[in-house]
């Protein structure tokens, strides 16, 4: 099972880094159980597992050390003698002989031999799952990512044990992993001397008078952080959801080089780094399930969700406040990245053409040119109609702009329908931006 595979990858990397020789069972007892379960607050809640099956009168937060050890021994008993099922081997099929109200994920009808060590590896692997918004978890079979995730376990445990944070909710390890990786693997955010207030300011926690808990990170935020560690890489991720009803999406390639591409395009267009990285990066990315349906997670999956209404529904974009300017920069960055994804050179061609169209619009008498540009040219949804409106412009455009308009006509003629949607949307955004700047 994938949880065991990832657990094995991590344990090998852990033993090498820390010069240990732990077997899966030894690591589970000395590190995993000590961090996750040998405390009044658990880090992980596994339905039907020995750690959550209580005798009469028992409650997890009231267990003494001996009672917690008994839970551990109960797991050892199952791992050594029973056929593995999802109640004590994480990611495995639910038992058909026990009447647990649960479903299975990633089930195969192949007979796969499983030994006791695989059970402990499955726990380790499940604890490395990265929770993202949308109710899904991602596993990366990568030593660097898993080791960094492990470092975050110790931080989460420290906060759960902190008496000043008694309201902090437990059992959120996968949600925590997503926030921890997004923060700790982004060199622009991470500080060695961070504390709880620093993470709270980053939006990692939700704190009110009655409860403190970890917020779920957007997958795109995680994506941008990992792209800084793997700027030219594509890494396979396993996307799933464990719960009362298990969900299996499967193996999806994550093209982290696309995150690098977006940052490169932004820097060439606007210079420097984002003025507000958190706000800017949060604009990118469709729902994780929809992104996975594309077959891989790259530039297309990073499309700003709010951009759709301008591309497909013909909504009018306006720039009135700082937030609108950030949206404009994000939309333009993604559209140019899509239009130039197979090119090294990044050009601001649409801005050049928007200036010519604006000059044409403002250079006439009456409302004929205003209507031609604002109503006809920018409201069209087809290449044919767009070219017809360009032809109308040629009849009375300034001679100095005729070659540019002809060049635009040739560019559009060679575009695919998909490219035309991107191009016309971007041209309209740049024109709107210029109109706002000249008011």
Q: What is the pLDDT of residues 228-259, one digit of tens each?
A: 999 999 999 999 987 667 788 999 999 999 99
- In the chain, the percentage of residues whose pLDDT exceeds 70 is 94
Tell me the pLDDT tens digit for each residue of 2-44.
999 999 999 999 999 999 999 999 999 999 999 999 999 999 9
What single string gives the DSSP state of each residue in 146-210? HHHHHHHHHHHHHHHH-GGGTTB--S-HHHHHHHHHHHHT-TTT--TT--HHHHHHTT-EEE-SS
User: Among 106-120, 222-236, 267-281, 325-339, where is mean pLDDT lowest?
Assistant: 106-120
pLDDT of 110 over the 80 cut: no
What DSSP assignment string belongs to 99-139? --S---SS--SS-----HHHHHHHHHHHHT-EEETTTEEEE
**371-424: per-residue pLDDT in tens?**
999 989 988 889 999 999 999 998 888 889 999 999 999 999 999 999 999 999
175 pLDDT above the threshold of 60:
yes
**Residue 272 pLDDT more than 80?**
no
**Mean pLDDT of the 220-226 span:** 95
Residues 6+ apart with CB under 8 A from 390: 377, 405, 408, 409, 412
Residue 318 half-sphere exposure toward CB, CA atoms < 13 A:
4
The answer, yes or no, to whether residue 132 has pLDDT greater than 90, is yes
Distances (CA, A) of 324 to 23, 164, 203, 317, 436: 54, 40, 22, 9, 11
- Is the pLDDT at 97 greater than 50? The verdict is no
**pLDDT (0 to 100) of residue 101:** 46
pLDDT for residue 160 is more than 80: yes
| Mean pLDDT for the chain overall | 90
């Amino acid at each position: 099972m994938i949880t065991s595979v990832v657990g094995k990858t991590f344990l090998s990397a852990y033993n090498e880094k820390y010069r240990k020789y732990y077997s899966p069972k030894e690591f589970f007892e000395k590190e995993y159980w000590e961090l996750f379960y040998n405390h009044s607050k658990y880090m992980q809640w596994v339905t039907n597992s020995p750690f959550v099956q209580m005798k009469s009168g028992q409650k997890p937060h009231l267990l003494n050390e001996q009672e917690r050890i008994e839970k551990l021994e109960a797991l050892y008993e199952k791992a050594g003698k029973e056929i593995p099922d999802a109640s004590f081997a994480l990611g495995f099929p639910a038992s058909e002989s026990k009447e647990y109200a649960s479903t299975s994920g990633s089930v195969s009808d192949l007979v796969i031999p499983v030994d006791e060590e695989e059970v402990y590896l499955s726990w380790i692997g499940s604890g490395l799952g990265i929770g993202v918004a949308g109710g899904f978890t991602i596993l990366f079979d990568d030593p660097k990512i898993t080791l960094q995730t492990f470092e975050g376990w110790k931080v989460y445990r420290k906060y759960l044990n902190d008496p000043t944070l008694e309201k902090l909710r437990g059992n959120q390890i996968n949600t925590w992993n997503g926030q921890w990786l997004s923060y700790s693997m982004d060199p622009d955010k991470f500080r060695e001397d961070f504390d709880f207030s620093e993470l709270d300011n980053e939006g990692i926690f939700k704190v009110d008078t009655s409860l403190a808990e970890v917020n779920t990170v957007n997958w795109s935020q995680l994506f941008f952080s990992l792209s800084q560690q793997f700027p030219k890489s594509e890494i396979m991720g396993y996307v799933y959801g464990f719960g009362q009803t298990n969900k299996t999406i499967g193996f999806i390639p994550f093209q982290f080089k696309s995150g690098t591409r977006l940052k490169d395009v932004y820097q060439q267009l606007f210079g420097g780094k984002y003025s507000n990285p958190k706000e800017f990066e949060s604009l990118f990315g469709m729902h994780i399930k929809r992104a996975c349906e594309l077959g891989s997670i790259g530039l297309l999956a990073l499309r700003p969700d709010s951009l759709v209404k301008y591309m497909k529904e013909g909504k009018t974009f306006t720039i009135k406040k700082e937030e609108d300017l950030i949206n404009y920069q994000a939309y333009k960055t993604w559209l140019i990245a899509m239009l130039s994804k197979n090119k090294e050179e990044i050009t601001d061609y649409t801005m050049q053409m928007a200036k010519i169209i604006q000059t044409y619009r403002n250079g006439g008498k009456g409302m004929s040119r205003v209507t031609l540009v604002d109503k006809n040219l920018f409201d069209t949804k087809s290449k044919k109609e767009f070219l017809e409106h360009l032809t109308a412009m040629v009849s009375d455009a300034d001679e100095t702009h005729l070659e540019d308009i002809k060049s635009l006509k040739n560019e559009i003629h060679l575009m695919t329908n998909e490219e035309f949607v991107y191009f016309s949307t971007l041209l309209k955004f740049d024109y709107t931006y210029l109109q706002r700047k000249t008011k």
